[in-house]
């Protein structure tokens, strides 16, 4: 992708995302903090569905009513559980970061052990009790 195309893409995508929050930085932050509860895949800043629209309107109304971010968070977590959070806090959020790292390290360790065993493998011993051929018959069958 050329640089000009990237600027064009960003120039059209960023205003479209900002329109959801009407340029309000607090709403932008809040929308990015919560996952759309209809499919649980994207945050409210980018997701388009009737349920996401309803939740954005609910958050905007709470902001307009003077509620703090913590009060809004508590209400949404109370209604949807911590699954509504885009980045869970505390130990549950840590699992998102450490599980792939630990799984990758375990995979590399298993690969190293397997490669080391393959490298150390000794050749199979010669079969016993075979008749010996005289040198004159080697390779002349």
Could you give phi then psi for residue 22, rounded to 5 degrees?
55, 35
The pLDDT tens digits of the residues spanning 109-124 come to 999 998 888 887 777 7
Q: What percent of the chain has pLDDT over 90?
A: 17
Q: How big is the chain, counted in residues?
A: 141
pLDDT above 50 (res 12): no
Q: What is the pTM of this model?
A: 0.51
| Mean pLDDT along residues 77-88 | 85
Query: Tell me, what's the pLDDT at 2?
Result: 56
User: What string of DSSP letters covers 119-141?
Assistant: HHPPPPPPPSSPPPPPGGGTT--
The pLDDT tens digits of the residues spanning 21-43 come to 677 888 888 888 888 888 888 88
- Asked whether the beta carbons of 36 and 47 are under 8 A apart, the reply is yes
- Asked whether the beta carbons of 19 and 68 are under 8 A apart, the reply is no
């Amino acid at each position: 992708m050329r640089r000009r195309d990237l600027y064009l893409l960003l120039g059209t995508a960023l205003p479209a995302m900002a329109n959801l929050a009407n340029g309000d930085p607090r709403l932008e932050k809040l929308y990015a903090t919560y996952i759309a509860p209809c499919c649980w895949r994207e945050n409210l800043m980018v997701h388009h569905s009737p349920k996401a629209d309803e939740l954005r309107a609910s958050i905007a109304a709470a902001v307009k009513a003077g509620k703090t971010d913590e009060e809004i968070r508590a209400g949404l977590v109370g209604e949807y559980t911590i699954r509504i959070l885009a980045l869970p806090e505390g130990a549950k959020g840590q699992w998102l970061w450490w599980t792939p790292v630990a799984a990758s390290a375990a995979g590399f360790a298993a690969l190293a052990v397997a490669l080391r065993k393959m490298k150390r493998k000794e050749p199979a011993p010669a079969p016993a009790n075979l008749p010996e051929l005289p040198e004159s018959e080697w390779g002349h069958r």
